A and B are shown apart, each in its own frame.
Chain A
Amino acid sequence: TQLLEQSPQFLSIQEGENLTVYCNSSSVFSSLQWYRQEPGEGPVLLVTVVTGGEVKKLKRLTFQFGDARKDSSLHITAAQPGDTGLYLCAGINSGGYQKVTFGTGTKLQVIP
């Protein structure tokens, strides 16, 4: 059974601060996705990273896929209250219909 551990589990910060969320596994994935889920809503895909070492930027969010494709990080610069939500990573394995393993989740609260 593949596991994706996210840390921290909970994070409460002031508006304007920077933060990093980690997603770690002992398994190799062909690609990795990050989602944000707001209360009362389903997850929304933020990014997909597919190459080991890849870095993608989405405005104030920076995503990195580990060189060995076992881990990933999400860095948010100058957090805003609109960033509040549950952040989920998801590891994808290819082959036939792709298999997905979701991370344990990081609940972020940005206080104005």
Chain B
Amino acid sequence: ETGVTQTPRHLVMGMTNKKSLKCEQHLGHNAMYWYKQSAKKPLELMFVYSLEERVENNSVPSRFSPECPNSSHLFLHLHTLQPEDSALYLCASSQEAGYTDTQYFGPGTRLTVL
């Protein structure tokens, strides 16, 4: 596998479920990101990790809980979500945190909350 991979690609969950999204990067990068892409809003940065340490949390509700066990893996744990949380969740990585280095995006997980 090369680049940035995300699993699952599609997820349907009820509001009381707990699920996790997984992201893996095979690029040797030090920074990883979670973004939310909704149909009616611009792409939004959610979290930034640099060397497994969270360095940015853009006022994201606590029902979204990120985890970065090492620089190659990033998770987004989901619980008690709302229908308005339905969106495409994108993971990205870059050599260092920020936008000086190119960010490489995964294909995303399409999440539907019923």
Q: How many residues on the A side are at the interface (Cβ–Cβ under 8 A)?
A: 21
Instruction: Write out, one digit per residue, whether chain A residues 39-51 have a CB within 8 A of any chain B CB (1) or not (0).
Output: 0111111001000
Q: Which chain A residues lie closer than 8 Å to B107 at the CB level? A: 40-42
Task: Tell whether A42 pairs with B108 under 8 Å between CB atoms, given A4-B42, A102-B43.
Answer: yes
* A31 in contact (CB, < 8 A): yes
Q: Mark B92-114, 1 if CB is under 8 A from A, else 0.
A: 10000111101111111000000
Interface size class of B (residues with CB under 8 A): 20 to 34
Number of A-B contacts (CB under 8 A): 47
With A97-B55, A98-B98 as known contacts, state yes or no: A45 contacts B103, CB within 8 Å.
yes
If A90-B99, A97-B50, A100-B99 are given as contacts, then 14 extra A-B residue pairs at C-beta distance below 8 Å, sorted by A number, are: A33-B99, A40-B107, A41-B107, A42-B91, A42-B105, A42-B106, A43-B105, A44-B105, A45-B102, A88-B42, A90-B43, A98-B98, A100-B45, A102-B42
Q: Residues on A close to B: CB < 8 A?
A: 4, 31, 33, 40-45, 48, 88, 90, 92, 97-98, 100-105
